Structure 1
Amino acid sequence: MEPLTTPNPDKFSKALGMSFKGSNTNGKIWIFVGEGMDFIVEDDSEQLLHGRFSCPWLPSHILLSVVYAKCSRGERVALWEKMREITQVVEGMPWLIGGDFNTILSLRDRTGSDTKRQAEMVDFAEAIEDCRLLDRGYDGAEYTWAKNGLMERLDRVLISETTSQLFDAVRVTNLPRIASDHGPLLVRSRLPSNHEGGRAFRFQNMWVRHGGFNELVREDWMAPTDAEGLFNLKLKFARIKGALKRWNKEVFGNIHANLKNCEENIAEAQADFEGNASARNRMEVNKRIAEYILLLKMEEDFWKQKAALQWLEEGDKNTRFYQSWVKQKRIRLRIHKIIDNGRELTDDTDIKESAVSFFQNLLGPDYPELDEPDLSLLQRIPPSEHLDDLPKPLDDDEVNLPFLISRPIVHPGRMVSRPYSIKLAGASSDQTL
């Protein structure tokens, strides 16, 4: 909460049905928690209240920072520095920071004014980048603050990379403005489930750097399938997919585990060389280092492919850069809500079922069930003497029954054609009409 009154714990605890856990130095930020939860203040300042939040259903505590920023750019500098200071403490721990930052991040976050705020946006963006925070986006209202025709998105929630690993999904909803010019933020998170479905096959670009990759593909592709055409191509693709999946599991292995093992091998080889500086031990050290460099390139390929980036600045070999892009993309592309026939679906199961139903109807529409035909409507064929002969086999006369072949004969240069020449097939040359 960011109230405009002096903290009154007893009054608001009863009104909210929650426990008061503290406020910042100037009384602008209050913390209330539900039953069984706890919040321990670790850092207190005029614009930020930081602490440790825990609840029974979380596997570990998370660090929570609540912001109520000053209105001027100069006063917010202290907030950005405080965020950078906290970053040094929370390294590797789940961290969620949110509240009223009193500035925007891009021009899309504002409407109703043309005031230049680029410098403020740069300050905010640099603080987010330095703290390695992710803006997971939002749903609901587009702007969180409004006054006299000016609307801005001043309130937002940012999360650390570790938080994105702890939770399967983090959803921020901008709720409507009712009793204030600010709209409240609703943050919901979901822990990952233990159930894992089958994963679709995806070709990994890093495979091509392995020494045995080309030979594996060549042998499997050249093996015959006893089929032709597109069916032959389909069988080859299916077979090589299975071969690559087995090879990846049995030979290539996990790239991150391979890197760790290679580091241990280098340390062991260097220890042997320090004990015995022979040419053989020197060669072993160089071999291990070359393997390690190759694995680093493979890991870079792995993260680059997952990040789906089409560019790479020369010299930027930090795979952590790609990891942050992967997590940011995964967070932003997650579907939290869809509209299906006028109904708003937010449950994951409902969303999946709706998507499956849509594509089933699109690619394989259900045809209406047809009623059994009423055979009584068919009129009975009147009896005929020829109907009785239909099931009988053909005799020699019927097989040799002549049929007519006609062709007009036209003389070149003449407009008049001769009468049709008609011949009976199966007859002699003299039997013409």
Structure 2
Amino acid sequence: MKIQQFEDKGLAHYSYAILSEGLGEIVLIDPARNPQTYYDFAEATKATIVAVIETHPHADFVSSHLEIHETTGANIYAHSMVGADYPYKAFDEGAVLEIGNLKLKSLHTPGHSPDSICIVLEHEGKDKAVFTGDTLFIGDVGRPDLRESAGSMTAKREELAHQMYHSTRQKLMHLADDVVVYPAHGAGTLCGKSLSDANSSTIGAEKTGNYALQEMSKEAFVKLLTEDQPFVPKYFGYNVGLNKQGAPAYKPTLKMVPRLAANYQPEEGAVIIDARNEKVFKQSHYKSAFNIQNGTKFETWLGSIVDPKENFYLVAATEAELDELIAKAAKIGYELLIRGAFVQSRPANASSPEINIEAFRQNLREHTIVDIRNGSEFKDGKYFENAINIPLPELRERATEIPTGKPVVIHCAAGYRSAAGSSIVEAALPQALVLDLGEAVNNFKNDKE
């Protein structure tokens, strides 16, 4: 037996291949959008992919389960409550999938979603591991507020939090302490609020160190689990629906993205996502473009700023970067929303002013300061006493709340988000002087300390 973990750092996502070495058969759990990694693993191990298990319809990434089924003939297993539109075998409570001397046993563990399951791996008569999806993380449990308006079955957060209490205490915590825990996410995901950066643990270690598994009343647990959760990106409900349906094949959809001539000029009013470096963007860009820089969290911020009901143009500095960005967009199904993609190499029709740090420092009260960090970050401490907090995911809808009688300074925690935020405010308030504090915010953080 071999367990192979695959990590997508951008979405803090873990997927798994379980290899029965004697039979040469592989079971995949929660695969990412690009299936090539799993095909490469099967080829390297001279094995065949025979099954794909979905622990639930994921909100934060698009799975390749349907494509793998259509390519390899592997059966898809999911809980019947998913109401899946793709061909699948019900993998409800107590169901067992046997692969050689391995048994994969389904536990119905609602809490993150009504249709969540965990998969217990039994080898030679002993439970060895549990694949917990978004139910149990290392140091946390899955948030209960993502299925209030998405999926085949919806439920209120309080109801799901009650269910999570029972799923953890009556099912997962009854497993042996030495059972290894393999979650679908690590630190950096928005599917929980306090995840460790470890990629595995044990039931015993989680009983000891996970705040959500400590002894407490159900009422206290529900209160704890429903407060201070991260923001919900715009794309989460869209991904639940796409995963319930089954996403189209990965490579063909990438090829379908319209590739436009360099320096193409989109029509007035179009949504333009310019992923070039913020310094290049500020020198010259198309009016009203949003500067979501290519980085490790590009896909998260793309899906937090752009609504899945919108189409958009995608701008990069090079053809190679454009390929990379389209692939990142595809991880959340947003390649389907790209109206056109092109390289920008010539000056365009707008630019952004640079901030004079010393002038700003000397005249803080002569500026309207907008802190675009998340609400929980803002609550933990302001960098500027007179700052207004409008989190980046809400900025397009709330930019008109910003007073424009003074220069507007946008800041975040380290500089990446403020590039996007300042471009959004600049587009929404064209008569205002909008300045990006950028990485210089670190100097002011030090002042506070």
TM-score bucket (shorter structure): under 0.3
Rg larger in structure: 1
Query: Which is bigger in relative contact order (C-alpha 8 A, separation at least 6)?
Result: 2
